[in-house]
Amino acid sequence: MRNLMIPILVINVIFILMSFFVIYEGDRGIVVRFGRVLDNEGTSRIYSPGLHFKMPLFDHVKVLDARIQTMDGRSDRFVTSEKKDVIIDTYVKWRIADFGRFYLTTGGGNILTAEALLERKVTDVLRSEIGSREIKQIVSGPRNNEDLSKINNQQISTKAAKEALEIDGQRDIIMAKVLTGTRDSAMNDLGVDVVDFRMKKINLPDNISDSIYKRMRAERESVARKHRSQGRKKAEVIRAQAELEVATVLAEADKTARVTRGKADAKAAKIYSQSYNKEPEFFSFIRSLKAYEKSFNSKNDILVLDPKSHFFRYMNNYHGEFLK
């Protein structure tokens, strides 16, 4: 009898250990018995974090992540109302709300299966929203008060920039409608709560991008040519004004110089006249000396003159009389 007590005791301990299970923080647990989820009056029995009891051998515990999940969707191609293709990259924030329904509809709580089904729902709603709008509405957000004031005050320099601000962007509206349209369906079919939906990146196919870049480049070159022509025109105006100012200053300076020179010549002539009237003989003598100085300042100068000429009268006699 004593030999049987030890195995029975060990078996009881094992059964007791198998009867308890632990749910950690951030997780939730459900118990499956004979392939069916245990429930309480029609609702699944959810086990919160802590220590719990189950029937050993008959019950199986499925632990599910209760935290917010991020589904980073692959880039997909959509067609706009203009029949143009856009490539949109999105992501979805979701979490499990009904753990029993999630377990049953995803084949035992498979996250990959849930995300594949959820991605299909999001893509269908997004395709409908993109198909009813133009590219410029998809890539643009709503106008803010600052943009509206710029339009009203006509502070936009280029036509393209002004048209860009005048576009009624609906990117935020599209994301809100996709979130609303997906949330109810995901809750009813998968038991998940869609928390948020965002469009991360909106691209155009290579052929469309090239044409848009070429058009943008042509617009920028046109603006650059306009600015360059305006700069050249302004430079010519500045250069002409500078030349006019220089000519005016030079003319005024020449005028002043001529007037000053004339006044000086007149004053000098007046002084000469007064001096000549006071001492005519002395004035004549000084002028003759200056003439001698200029005439004989070089040894190579040769003058062929009569010694008794009027030019040498002061050399012959300091009175200016010719000697006999």
The CATH number that applies at residue 175 is: 3.30.479.30
Residue 22 has a CB neighbour count (10 Å cut-off) of 13
Cα–Cα distance list, 209 to 12, 201, 253, 266 (Å): 72, 14, 65, 84
Three-class DSSP category at 162: helix
215 occurs within a structural domain: no
- Chain-centroid distance of CA 190 in Å reads 43
Residue 212 lies in a domain: no
pLDDT value of position 164: 44
16 and 118 part of one domain: no
User: What is the domain extent for residue 137?
Assistant: 69-204
Looking at 42, 65, 88, which one is the last position of a domain?
65
Type of residue found at 163: E
Residue 68 in contact with residue 195, Cβ under 8 Å? yes
User: Tokens in use for 185?
Assistant: 């369906």
How large is the C-alpha radius of gyration of the chain?
54
The Cα 203–Cα 201 span in angstroms is 6
* Contact between residue 62 and residue 38 where contact means Cβ atoms under 8 Å apart: no
Whether 135 is in a domain gets the answer yes
Give how far the C-alpha of residue 178 lies from the chain's centroid of Cα atoms, to the nearest Å: 29
Do 240 and 189 fall into the same domain?
no
pLDDT at position 310 is 65
Q: Same domain for 38 and 14?
A: yes
Is 120 within the bounds of a domain? yes
Looking at the fold, whether 159 and 231 belong to one and the same domain comes out as no
Please list the ranges in the chain whose pLDDT falls under 70. 1-3, 10-13, 17-18, 35, 37-44, 141-168, 208-209, 296, 298-299, 301, 303-324
Residue 286 forms part of a structural domain:
yes
Residues 87 and 168 in one domain: yes
> Is 99 in contact with 51 (CB distance < 8 Å)?
no
Assess whether 186 and 107 both reside in one domain: yes
Q: Looking at the structure, tell me whether residues 200 and 82 fall in a common domain.
A: yes
Give yes or no: residues 23 and 138 share one domain.
no
pLDDT for the residue 168: 60
Domain-embedded: residue 216: no
Q: How many whole angstroms separate alpha carbon 170 and alpha carbon 50?
A: 46
Grouping H, G, I as helix, E, B as strand and the rest as coil, residue 298 is coil
Q: Are 190 and 118 in contact (CB under 8 A)?
A: yes
pLDDT score at 94: 93
Same domain for 74 and 142?
Answer: yes
What is the reported pLDDT for 231? 92
Q: Which of 139, 170, 204 is where one domain is finished?
A: 204
pLDDT-above-90 percentage for the chain: 27
- 167 and 264 fall within a common domain: no
What is the enclosing helix (H) or strand (E) of 212?
Answer: helix 206-278
Query: Which pLDDT value is given to residue 151?
Result: 43
Same domain (yes/no): 264, 289: no
* pLDDT computed for residue 140 by the predictor: 78
Q: Which amino acid is at 142?
A: P
Looking at the 3D structure of the chain, how many domains does it have? 4
The residue type found at 13 is V
Q: Are residues 196 and 256 in the same domain?
A: no
Helix (H, G, I), strand (E, B) or coil at 231: helix
Q: What is the pLDDT of residues 81-116, one digit of tens each?
A: 888 888 899 999 999 988 888 888 888 888 899 999
